[in-house]
Structures are given as C-alpha cells and as structure tokens.
Amino acid sequence: MKILQYAGIYKRKASGLSFSIPNLVKGLDKNNVTVNIYNLAATDNEFDQNDYDIIVLNSFFILKYFVVLLKVKPNQKIIICPRGAFSKSNRYDLKKKIYSYVYFSILKLKRVNYKIHFLTNNEMLKSRFRTNNDFVVGNSIEVNSKIQISDEVIKNRFQNKEIVYIGRFSNHIKGLDLLFDFLIKNKEVLAQNKICFKFYGPKSEDKLKLKSIAVKNDLRNVFFYDEIYGEDKSKVLESAYFHVLNSRSEGYPMSVLESTLYSVPQILSVGTNLTDDLVKHAFGFIADGKLIKRLIDLDLFTYQSLCLNAREYAALHEIEIIGAKTLINYKK
C-alpha cells in the first residue's frame, strides 16, 4: 500500500502541521506502509499521485486541491483531514462557501471514495460536513525516554509558577483576547499568589496589541518573548508550571502534546477540543470561571499528580500507536 500526504510543511516551525504530518508519516512508516509527503510549501515535489492507493488532503481551503481532486483515479481513496477547518465556530464567509461547494461538487461528480479524518470527537461533532465513514484519531509525538522531569524540577515549577503560551499571536483564533480579559480581571489575586504568564511567539500586529493592553492595564506579571524552537523551547517547557491554550477553535493542537511530553499540566479552553481528554486523564484544568480558584487552591501533591498524568497522556499518542490506529481507519 502506498499513501501520499498533501500538506504545507514550512521550514519555520510556527505551524503545527510542520510537526504533526512528519510525525504521522513516521508512525505509518513504522507500520510497514510506504508514505510520502507532497509539500505544498515546496517546489521540488516529484510524486505522481496516480502511483498511490490513498491520497490524504490535510487542511482544506487550498486551491491546489481542486487540481488534485480532478486527477483522482476511480480506485483511489481520498482522506480529508480538515484540521479544524470544518468547525462551526470558525468564520464562514462567501469565499469559503463557494470553495466548499466546488470542492464537494467535484467529489460528487467524480464519485470519489472519500471519508473525513477528524482529530477529536468534539471536532467531529462541531463539523459543518460529515460522511457515514468518518473516523477520529488524534495527532502523535515521538516519546523521547531521555526527557525525564525530576521531583526537584516539579517542586521548582510549583514554587516559580510560570504559566506559558508558545505559538503564534492570532488573538481571535487562539483566544488570547479572552485570556487577557481574564488576566485583567484577576490581576490582583494573580499578583498576590505570584503567578506569572509568559508568552512566546513571532512578531505580529496582534502581539503588539496585547503588549499595549498589558501596559495600559499595568499587568506586571505578564511577559513577552520572541518565538522559540529546539533547545530553547525545551528549557522553557522544562520549567513551565502550566501550558495555556485558550483557543476558540482547533483541530488537535500539537503544543499540547509537545508540552505534556515534558510533564507540563495544561490549562485548556473548550475550543481546543481536548477538554474531554483533560478531564478523563486528569492532566490539567479547564479555562472556565473556576480556574482562578483551582490555581490558588492547588497543592504540591495534586500538582505532582497532574504532571505525572500529563506525561502519561503524551505516551498514549506515541507515533507508532497513532500510526497503527490511523492506518486501520485508512484501510476501512
């Protein structure tokens, strides 16, 4: 069996796809199938889609996909992995409506055998589009046994209380505007309990807006930094008290898997689509009206348990495990 994955993989690792797709390919490869990536962000692709049994289209609003669909052979399977693009929480303007109509019209006219790969149950439930053969399998990560967080490090995290956000500053999608409303409302109690928030990400207009809001509201426990990768990111995650993601809409955020690998508990909004997992596996708190009380009342013993559960959650998404689950559903 041969599988071709279409996706935009950028050298600058700000996009989750730059991690999630290569990880999936490694996981599928470990399950003895041939997988290649047709990188939409590159110009040197040498893959002929007619040579493949299954074609996977990652993301959705990409004009190139019209050409791909028009070239599909009758015996090929198409897997659509929208990665959050089908969510009813997202803006759905006229251009997106026209694109969707053309996309699915091509599939219908060519009688293409296709199904949708959702990354979480909640993403599937909130989707604008469905088929009878849809399936749910999350993202994956390489579980490095060398990453071991000691009890002493966990105690230092608990004392320092540095909550981190690592990602792009898209204030609406990532819910950073709502997070800053929370910071402003609770700035006195956060300061009294010495809880600080550190934001890491590339320059943007939205980042400048947040910096201005922080200055205007005298948020002395809020700090901004440039984007970080590799060893710099590892150091930040090793010392992080919590990782926060307050998104309005996500497919399956790689930042959650990356940080849980370092035993970092999570603060997640409903829009991340991972709050069911968060509760089931007890590796953090939901970003709701009870959050501030949970943070203030948190004791070291409970925090240590959250850290342990976070690492165990990452292990459930090891690349070979997720690769096997994904392959089973591709074949159905």
- The pLDDT, as a whole number, for residue 14 is 58
Higher pLDDT, 315 or 148: 315
- What is the pLDDT at residue 144? 80
pLDDT > 80? residue 16: no
| pLDDT, position 7 | 94
Q: Are residues 126 and 164 in the same domain?
A: no
> Does 93 reside within a domain?
yes
pLDDT at 74: 86
What rounded mean pLDDT belongs to the chain? 94
The whole-number pLDDT of residue 15 equals 66
- Are 49 and 29 in the same domain? yes
- Kindly state whether residues 324 and 284 are assigned to the same domain: no
Domain that holds residue 195: 151-315
For 231-241, what is each residue's pLDDT tens digit?
999 999 999 99
Are both 188 and 124 inside the same structural domain?
no
pLDDT in tens, 64-105: 999 999 999 988 999 999 998 998 888 899 999 999 999 999
Residues 158 and 297 in one domain: yes
CA distances in angstroms from 231 to 73, 99, 238, listed in the order given: 45, 40, 10
Q: How far apart are CA 63 and CA 95, in angstroms?
A: 12
Looking at the fold, whether 223 and 118 belong to one and the same domain comes out as no
Q: Is residue 228 part of a domain?
A: yes
The amino acid at residue 208 is L
Check whether residue 173 and residue 198 sit in a common domain: yes
- Quote the CA–CA distance of 67 and 169 in Å, as a whole number: 32
165 & 311 share domain:
yes
Same domain, 39 and 77: yes
Confidence of residue 225 (pLDDT cuts 50, 70, 90): very high
Same-domain check for residues 104 and 180: no
Whether residue 146 is contained in a domain is answered as no
- 179 shares a domain with 59: no
Q: Are residues 135 and 215 in the same domain?
A: no
- Residue 145: inside a domain: no
How many domains are contained in the chain?
2
| Residue 10 in domain | yes
Q: 177 near 211, Cβ under 8 Å?
A: no
Least confidently predicted of 30-39, 137-146, 180-189: 137-146
Query: What pLDDT score was predicted for residue 239?
Result: 97
Residue carrying the six token digits 């469905």: 130
Tens digit of each residue's pLDDT (9 = 90 or more) over 125-140: 999 999 999 999 999 9
The answer to whether residue 279 is domain-embedded is yes
pLDDT tens-place string over residues 266-304: 999 999 999 999 999 999 999 999 999 999 999 999 999
77: nearest Cα among 124, 116, 37, 46: 116
pTM: 0.90
Residue 6's pLDDT is 96
**Is 170 contained in some domain?**
yes
- Residue 52's domain is classified under what CATH number? 3.40.50.2000
Phi-psi category of residue 167: left, alpha or beta, with phi > 0 → left and psi -120 to 50 → alpha: left
Res. 12: pLDDT tops 80: no
Token pair for residue 217? 């509201």
| Angle ∠(156,160,164) on CA atoms, nearest 5 | 110
151-169 pLDDT tens trace: 999 999 999 999 999 999 9
pLDDT of residue 145: 74
Q: Cβ distance 77 to 55 under 8 Å?
A: yes
